[in-house]
Amino acid sequence: MSYRQRWFFAYAVKTFFEVMSSAGSSASHRWPGLFMLKRALACFFVAVVLLLLSPSLAQAQVLTNESDESSLFVRSFETLRDLDYHSWQVVAYRQGPLGGPVVLRIVGYPGKVRLNHPTALLVHAGRRDWALDDITMASPQLAKDGREAAAEFDLNPLLDDLTNNRPLRLQLAGVFTELPVPPYVVGEWRSLPQASQ
C-alpha cells in the first residue's frame, strides 16, 4: 500500500470513529451527524476499494532462477531515488548455495555518471555506520565495461550486523550523498542468504 493510500485509509477510519463517537449528541445535531456519517462511510468504502484493487507501487521482489552453471541465482531488484531525484538500480544478489556471499550492485545511467573504483559504500542506520568494500573489479563483466556506470559491494558485513528491517541511507563519495533504502527492501536483502525460491 502506498503512502497516499495509507494516509487516506487512516483518515477514513479516524473520521468514521469521530462520527460514531458524536452519534449520541442532541437531536439538534442529528442532521449534521447523519451527513458526517455518510461522508465517513463513503471515505471508508473508497479506502477499502483502493486497498483491495490498486497494485502496490513500492514492492520489490526476490527473484530466483538457474544460472548458466546450474547454480541457484537469487536477487532483489529495486529502483531508488537519491535526494537529488536521480534514479539508481539497486540489485542485491546471491549466486550459489544457501548462506553464500551476497553482493550489492548499484547502477546509474551510463554517460551521466562515472563510478571510480575502489570506493567504499558508506551505510548509515541511526547511530550505526558501515563501510562496504568495493568488489567491482573482481567481476570480469564490470572490470571490462568501459561505461563505468555500475559498482558492486560486499553486503555480508551489513547483513551480519542487522537484526531488523530498518531504513538505511547509502552514501557513495562523489556520486550521491544520500540514497534512502526503505525497510521492505532491507527485509528482502536479509532474506537472500537463505532464500531458495
Residue 10 near residue 44 (C-beta atoms within 8 A): no
pLDDT tens digits, residue range 72-84?
778 899 999 998 8
pLDDT the model gives residue 142: 77
Question: Mean pLDDT, the chain, as a whole number?
Answer: 76
CB 52 within 8 A of CB 176: no
The total of other beta-carbon atoms located within 10 Å of residue 85's CB is 6
Mean of the pLDDT values across residues 124-151? 84
- Please state, in angstroms and as integers, the Cα–Cα distance from residue 45 to each residue in 38, 42, 51, 78, following that order: 10, 5, 10, 32
Q: Which residues pair with 125 in a beta bridge?
A: 128
Q: Comparing 75-79, 142-146, 174-178, which segment has the lowest mean pLDDT?
A: 142-146
pLDDT over 60 at 5, yes or no: no
Q: Options 3.30.70, 2.30.30, 1.10.3470, 2.60.40; which CATH number does 75-194 get?
A: 2.60.40
Name the least confident of 23-37, 59-73, 164-178. Answer: 59-73
